[in-house]
């Protein structure tokens, strides 16, 4: 690809990701899905609500960030996988291009498996640390 067409492709991909992630960014479904959700307690002296963030909110923040990154990574992986498929189909028997497409397939699959494995580890750890869970380590 030439530099200009490569820049256009990257810009189109970023625009697609922004548009596809917009409902998640603005919480269009009405639920409170902000990144930081601190508990509010009533201060009896002033009569105002005071937000207090503690360790549970930090662990929940880590979980929300990881989940958001996975939401973004799935379409990116699919787009790169499709790019590798197109590259493989248009190789026209050129073994070098076919080998490069296979390497891209392998890297995308490996990256996706590593990403989901990391999510599983983070989910298991944060589930054990959050107080909402019945098997919390902090109780």
Q: What is the mean pLDDT of residues 92-111?
A: 92
Burial class (CB in 10 A: 0-12, 13-18, 19+), 111: middle
pLDDT per residue over 16-63, tens digit each? 766 666 655 555 444 555 666 676 677 777 777 777 777 777 777 777
Give residues with Cβ within 8 angstroms of 80, minimum separation 6: 104, 108
Q: Which of 20-29, 66-75, 113-122 has the lowest mean pLDDT?
A: 20-29
pTM for the predicted model, two decimal places: 0.60
Q: Residue 111 has which token pair?
A: 């990256």
Q: What is the mean pLDDT of residues 81-109?
A: 91
Is residue 130 within 8 Å of 123, Cβ to Cβ?
no
- The span from the CA of 89 to the CA of 127, in Å, is 44
Strand boundaries in the chain, DSSP class E: 39-42, 49-52
Q: Rounded to the nearest 10 degrees, what angle do helices 3-26 and 55-89 cross at?
A: 140
- The span from the CA of 35 to the CA of 113, in Å, is 25
């Amino acid at each position: 690809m030439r530099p200009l067409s490569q820049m256009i492709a990257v810009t189109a991909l970023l625009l697609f990701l922004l548009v596809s992630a917009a409902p998640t960014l603005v919480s269009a479904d009405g639920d409170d899905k902000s990144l930081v959700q601190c508990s509010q307690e009533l201060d009896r002296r002033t009569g105002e609500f005071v937000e207090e963030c503690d360790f549970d909110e930090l662990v929940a923040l880590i979980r929300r960030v990881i989940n958001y990154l996975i939401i973004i990574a799935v379409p990116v992986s699919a787009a790169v996988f499709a790019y590798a498929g197109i590259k493989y189909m248009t190789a026209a028997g050129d073994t070098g291009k076919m080998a490069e497409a296979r390497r891209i397939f392998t890297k995308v699959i490996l990256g996706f498996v590593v990403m989901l494995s990391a999510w599983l580890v983070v989910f298991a750890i944060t589930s054990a640390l959050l107080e909402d869970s019945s098997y919390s380590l902090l109780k």
